[in-house]
Amino acid sequence: MARGGRKLNELAEKLDLIIEVRDARAPFSTSSPLIDAMGRLKPVGLVLAKKDLASPGHTRVWMEKFAAEQKDVWAFDLRRDDLEPLRRSLSRRRPEHRELRLAVVGIPNVGKSMFLNMLVGKSRAKVGGIPGITREVNWYRGLGFLVVDSPGILDPHSEPGVHRVLSWLGCAKAGVIGGYEPAALELIRFLKDRGLWSVVAAKWELDEPDEPSELTLERLGRRLGCLVAGGNVNMELAGRRLVDSFAAGKLGAMTLELPGEALWSP
């Protein structure tokens, strides 16, 4: 079984519930293939984080889809939203004599730590060894919850196509999967195809002639001052600026995929 998977299964026996966090901008591509196996052991609740970076209408479509599949699903801007409705709903599963035990899982950078901090509140305490519960992971206690943070790294889907999408969201490092330049070029093509590039262009006051993506990235690099000696554009650096800005949501709220039209096929 993949990294983290075995440990997770051992841990799952001690838990009441698993919360999977995904990025609201790509709720399909940011799922983890390991959740299916874990979901057979314990109930899984789904949190779509970074709701503020997704299009509200599209988030509604995703919520309806998951609800139709009988999933418990919430969407949050974890930096602002109140988690009280979720806390109330989870509390119903709490055993009488102890706090609710849950694990927060998901692929890198989707918002797991932020979610955990919001869930257990400011008064949270890091908990050491808990008898009978594995000591190798970090437990936090607060507001009636005992939560374990990302027990093992959950592998994302491994298809090349999905990794590209994950690099746009900051969930995979473009630098280690072929470089920022190709990731950025594909992002430009994707956004142009979807009619979303104008949002980015407006942000950086770029003209929008009909041109190949390479030229667009070069103009962007020039605009942002990503130059090397001789006045040429450092395309890798320009790509990095674009991808990192997009991942951090600085270029506007955009959902990348809708149910049934994933950006890659399994």
Ligand X SMILES: Nc1nc2c(ncn2[C@@H]2O[C@H](COP(=O)(O)OP(=O)(O)O)[C@@H](O)[C@H]2O)c(=O)[nH]1
User: Is 113 near Mg ion (CB under 5 A)?
Assistant: yes
The interface with ligand X within residues 202-261 (CB under 6 A) comprises: 249
User: Is 52 near ligand X (CB under 6 A)?
Assistant: yes
140-164 burial: b if 16+ Cβ within 10 Å, else e: bbbbebbbbbbbbebebbeeeebbb
CA angle 10, 130, 12 (to 5 degrees): 20
In whole angstroms, how close is the CB of 252 to ligand X at the nearest point? Answer: 12
The interface with Mg ion within residues 45-64 (CB under 5 A) comprises: none
Q: Name beta bridge partners: 149.
A: 104
Cβ(145)–Cβ(120) below 8 Å: yes
In whole angstroms, how close is the CB of 52 to ligand X at the nearest point? Answer: 5
- Chain residue at closest Cβ approach to Mg ion: 113
Distance CA 198, CA 185 (A): 15
The type of residue at 50 is: K
In whole angstroms, how close is the CB of 79 to ligand X at the nearest point? Answer: 5
Task: Report the sign of the C-alpha dihedral through residues 104, 106, 111, 113, in that order.
Answer: positive
Residue-by-residue DSSP string for 43-97: -EEEEEE-GGGS-HHHHHHHHHHHHHTT-EEEE--TTT---HHHHHHHHTT--TT
110 binds, among ligand X, Mg ion, none (CB under 5 to 8 A by kind): ligand X
3-class state of residue 185 by DSSP: helix
Among 110, 118, 147, 154, binds ligand X (CB under 6 A): 110
User: Is 49 near ligand X (CB under 6 A)?
Assistant: yes
User: Is 101 near ligand X (CB under 6 A)?
Assistant: no
114 binds, among ligand X, Mg ion, none (CB under 5 to 8 A by kind): ligand X
Between 74 and 192, whose beta carbon lies closer to ligand X? Answer: 74
Among 38, 47, 53, 233, binds ligand X (CB under 6 A): 53
Instruction: Tell me the window of 7-15, 35-43, 103-111, 182-190 that interacts with ligand X (CB under 6 A).
Output: 103-111
Binding footprint of ligand X, residue count (CB under 6 A): 17
Of 138, 139, 151, 104, nearest to 10 by C-alpha is 151
In whole angstroms, how close is the CB of 227 to ligand X at the nearest point? Answer: 28
Determine phi and psi for 110, rounding to 5 degrees: -85, -15
Instruction: Tell me the window of 3-11, 45-53, 129-137, 222-230 that interacts with ligand X (CB under 6 A).
Output: 45-53
Rg for the chain, CA atoms, rounded: 20
Among 22, 42, 101, 112, binds ligand X (CB under 6 A): 112
Among 50, 101, 157, 241, binds ligand X (CB under 6 A): 50
The residues that touch ligand X, with contacts defined as CB under 6 A, are: 49-50, 52-53, 76-79, 106, 108-114, 249
